């Protein structure tokens, strides 16, 4: 297979573009797609500071690499989730994030949930009776927003790629979660206590992001998060990849078709929900509930276990 641009031997085929690229042209392709997404969706303006949500995985490290190469002032923020034993998943992913930051000479800020907030995702999510991925997403959403406000960043950039967005859309359509559909956008504007959130990787699939890291020599955590194994999101990705294999371009058509032709129908519901926002009395973050979801999570995740009623404890011993 030859590179579509320069006719040198190709290293990767991208079937949805009916194209193949050599190493040099592939890196250029990835940067062009990120630059196009940033431009088309007005994600970041010249001179703005960007905080990149860094996990140590291929998407966030690849995104950070491209933003730096495109000339953006992009700092990283790593959130320690306390997943796995010492030297396990969280420690390993943190090491990849630190190594990348050092190699690029880029600032990396760190928040550690167990040290700074007194809970980790496995135990905290169980205590709060939330799914681990839900507690993790909630923690990230709150802490990245807060850190960006405090650090005077104009945007938070996340490594959500085309596959992520197509899978989330698939799940929301399957269940007609119309409130989520109204907010599934590549850019969520800032204001009223929110920093702008941008997803510059929406034009790149995760196979491209893994390939980008390989050709750029970026080491990242390949192992799947142990808390995510078997979740619905992974199932949606598998289903979409089965379709993509038969019909290349389906994921892109699904997601960008939604943005072009359907997204606006669901916006009023999302906008109406924003009208009920007020500051959380505990932390000041915007919320539509009495106390924000993050403060509720911290309270429940760090609370002492409820004492068991005597009758229930006896019944359990008998069984």
Partner 1 sequence: VKVLLRNPRRELDIDGPLRVQVLIQRLGLNRESVLVIRGDTLVPGDVVLDDGDTVEIRPVISGGAVELPGTP
In the bound state with partner 1, the residue whose beta carbon lies nearer, of 55 and 66, is: 55
Q: How far apart are CA 139 and CA 130, in angstroms?
A: 12
The reply on whether position 183 binds partner 1 by CB under 8 A is yes
The reply on whether position 173 binds partner 1 by CB under 8 A is no
Q: How far apart are CA 76 and CA 307, in angstroms?
A: 41
Q: How far apart are CA 25 and CA 212, in angstroms?
A: 11
The reply on whether position 184 binds partner 1 by CB under 8 A is yes
The reply on whether position 99 binds partner 1 by CB under 8 A is no
The reply on whether position 211 binds partner 1 by CB under 8 A is yes
Among 104, 188, 256, 263, binds partner 1 (CB under 8 A): 188
The reply on whether position 288 binds partner 1 by CB under 8 A is yes
In the bound state with partner 1, the residue whose beta carbon lies nearer, of 16 and 315, is: 16
3-state secondary structure the chain: CECCCCCCECCEEEHHHCEEECHHHHHHHHHHHHHHHHHHCCCCCCCCEEEEEECCCHHHHHHHHHHHHCCCEEEEEEEECCCCCCCCHHHHHHHHHHHHHHHHCCCEEEEEHHHHHCCCHHHHHHHCCCCHHHHHHHHHHHHHHHHHHHCCCCEEECCCCHHHHHHHHHHHHHCCCHHHHCCCCCEECCECCECEEECCCCCCCHHHHHHHHHHHCCCCCCCCCCCCCCCHHHHHHHHHHHHHHHCCCHHHHHHHHHHHHCHHHHHHHHHHHHCCCEECCCCCCEECCCCCHHHHHHHHHHCCCCCCCHHHHHHHHHC
For residues 229 to 268, the per-residue mask of contacts with partner 1, x marking binding by CB under 8 A and - elsewhere, is --x-xx--xx--xx-xx-----------------------
For residues 125 to 154, the per-residue mask of contacts with partner 1, x marking binding by CB under 8 A and - elsewhere, is --------x--xxx-xxx--x---------
Alpha carbon 317 to its chain centroid, in Å, reads 43
Q: How far is the CB of 214 from partner 1 (least distance, A)?
A: 6
Among 43, 148, 168, 204, binds partner 1 (CB under 8 A): 168
In the bound state with partner 1, the residue whose beta carbon lies nearer, of 67 and 204, is: 204
Q: How far is the CB of 315 from partner 1 (least distance, A)?
A: 36
Q: Which span sits near partner 1 by CB under 8 A: 33-41, 110-118, 256-264, 286-294? A: 286-294
The reply on whether position 215 binds partner 1 by CB under 8 A is yes
**Which residues, in sequence order, are bridge partners of residue 78?**
54, 110
In the bound state with partner 1, the residue whose beta carbon lies nearer, of 66 and 241, is: 241
The reply on whether position 90 binds partner 1 by CB under 8 A is no
Tokens of 267: 């916006």
Among 105, 217, 307, 309, binds partner 1 (CB under 8 A): 217
Residues that bind partner 1 (CB under 8 A): 1, 10-13, 15, 20, 55, 57-59, 133, 136-138, 140-142, 145, 158, 160, 163-164, 167-168, 180, 183-185, 188, 197, 205-207, 209-211, 214-215, 217, 222-225, 227-228, 231, 233-234, 237-238, 241-242, 244-245, 273-274, 277, 280, 285-288, 292-294
């Amino acid at each position: 297979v030859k590179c579509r641009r320069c006719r040198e031997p190709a290293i990767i085929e991208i079937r949805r573009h009916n194209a193949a690229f050599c190493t040099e042209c592939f890196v250029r392709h990835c940067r062009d797609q990120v630059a196009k997404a940033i431009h088309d969706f007005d994600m970041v303006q010249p001179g703005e500071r960007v905080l990149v949500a860094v996990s140590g995985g291929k998407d966030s490290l690849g995104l950070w690499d491209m933003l730096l190469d495109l000339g953006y002032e992009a700092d990283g923020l790593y959130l320690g989730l306390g997943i796995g034993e010492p030297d396990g998943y969280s420690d390993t992913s943190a090491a990849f994030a630190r190594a990348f930051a050092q190699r690029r000479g880029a600032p990396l800020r760190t928040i550690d949930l167990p040290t700074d907030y007194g809970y980790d995702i496995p135990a905290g999510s169980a205590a709060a009776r939330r799914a681990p991925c839900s507690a993790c997403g909630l923690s990230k959403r709150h802490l990245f927003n807060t850190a960006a406000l405090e650090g005077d960043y104009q945007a938070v950039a996340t490594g959500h790629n085309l596959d992520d967005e197509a899978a989330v859309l698939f799940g929301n359509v399957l269940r007609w979660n119309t409130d989520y559909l109204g907010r599934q956008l590549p850019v969520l504007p800032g204001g009223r206590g929110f920093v702008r959130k941008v997803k510059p990787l929406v034009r790149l699939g995760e196979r491209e992001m893994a390939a980008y890291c390989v050709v750029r020599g970026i080491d990242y955590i390949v192992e799947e998060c142990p808390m995510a194994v078997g979740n619905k999101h992974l199932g949606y990705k598998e289903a979409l990849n089965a379709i993509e294999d038969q019909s290349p371009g389906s994921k892109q058509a699904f997601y960008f078709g939604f943005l072009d032709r359907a997204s606006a129908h669901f916006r009023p519901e999302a906008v109406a929900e924003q009208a009920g926002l007020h500051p959380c009395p505990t932390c000041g973050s915007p919320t539509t509930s009495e106390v924000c979801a993050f403060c509720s999570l911290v309270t429940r995740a760090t609370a002492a276990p409820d004492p068991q009623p005597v009758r229930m404890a006896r019944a359990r011993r008998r069984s």
